[in-house]
Amino acid sequence: MNFLRNSLAAVGLCGLSSLALAAGNPLSVHVLNLENGLPSPGVKVTLEQHVGQDWKALSEGVTNEQGRISELFPTGQALTAGEYRVVFKTGEYFKQAKRDTFFPEIPVIFEVKQTEQHYHIPLLLSPYGFSTYRGS
């Protein structure tokens, strides 16, 4: 029962957090721990763009105390249509917490079609599973 309650709380926090972020940088992320319903600070996250056959590194950041990176897209660059990949370095996060995990990193590939919109990628995380969706 606690797991379900914590999961619902985490989903609610993701929705509320994205409202405040929609006006600035075109890409934000949020990582929440499903085991305890709390934010996951200290998760390294990278952003890459699919160019030809390769992935081009664009930026990286680390989640803050609220488990967020509100400005992951490079400042001063225009968001263009195409495929992007956000990689959450979860192995490092769990290692620092002295926990095992099945997923050392979690890549989330998404497509940008409307460049004027804000893209928010929440990650609901546990050591042996995860869920993500497009936030707003």
DSSP conformational letter for 115: T
Q: Annotation-wise, does 68 bind a ligand?
A: yes
What secondary structure, in 3-state letters, does 7-69 show?
HHHHHHHHHHHHHHHCCCCCEEEEEEECCCCEECCCCEEEEEEEECCEEEEEEEEECCCCCEE
Q: Annotation-wise, does 133 bind a ligand?
A: yes
Instruction: Please report where in the chains the tokens 């989640």 appear, as a residue.
Output: 63
Give the residue ranges of the annotated binding site.
30, 68, 133
Give the residue ranges of the annotated binding site for substrate.
30, 68, 133
